């Protein structure tokens, strides 16, 4: 069976999978690294690493992708979403701009995740 662009379906699947894994790795780096990825996915570090490395017998569950991507910067979230839907012939567009509260919550989380205890203290100091 041939798919989009006359590539075999299996080739399309592998390319999409590789792109999704790459974008998810980028998201994990942007949110503060593997430790934060483990915290949001509730996965073991070894399992998350194996899945992102594409090791045989390991898969990247969609819920891990979503949990990592949802706290990543907007442009990376868009890349993850496109990696999921582009092979189907679709593209994505933002549903709505983030509210001030949503942006602040994401900024607070990213600050605490990226800068550890110092970031968490900074977030708390600015809540007063």
User: pLDDT tens string for the chain (128 positions)?
Assistant: 444 455 677 777 777 878 888 888 888 888 888 888 888 888 898 998 888 887 888 888 888 888 888 888 888 888 888 888 888 888 888 777 888 888 888 888 878 777 878 888 888 888 87
**Dihedral sign of CA atoms 29, 30, 34, 37 in order:** negative
Residue 27 and residue 72 in contact, taking contact as beta carbons nearer than 8 Å: yes
| Verdict on whether the full-model pTM lies above 0.75 | no
Half-sphere exposure (CA, 13 Å, Cβ side) for 58?
Answer: 16
């Amino acid at each position: 069976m041939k798919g989009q662009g006359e590539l075999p379906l299996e080739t399309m699947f592998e390319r999409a999978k590789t792109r999704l894994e790459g974008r998810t790795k980028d998201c994990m780096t942007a949110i503060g690294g593997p430790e934060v990825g483990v915290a949001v996915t509730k996965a073991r570090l070894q399992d998350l690493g194996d899945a992102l490395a594409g090791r045989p017998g390991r898969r990247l569950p969609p819920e891990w992708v979503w949990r990592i991507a949802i706290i990543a910067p907007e442009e990376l979230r868009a890349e993850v979403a496109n990696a999921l839907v582009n092979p189907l012939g679709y593209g994505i567009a933002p549903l709505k701009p983030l509210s001030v509260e949503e942006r602040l919550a994401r900024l607070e989380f990213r600050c605490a995740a990226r800068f550890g205890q110092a970031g968490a203290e900074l977030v708390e100091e600015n809540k007063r």
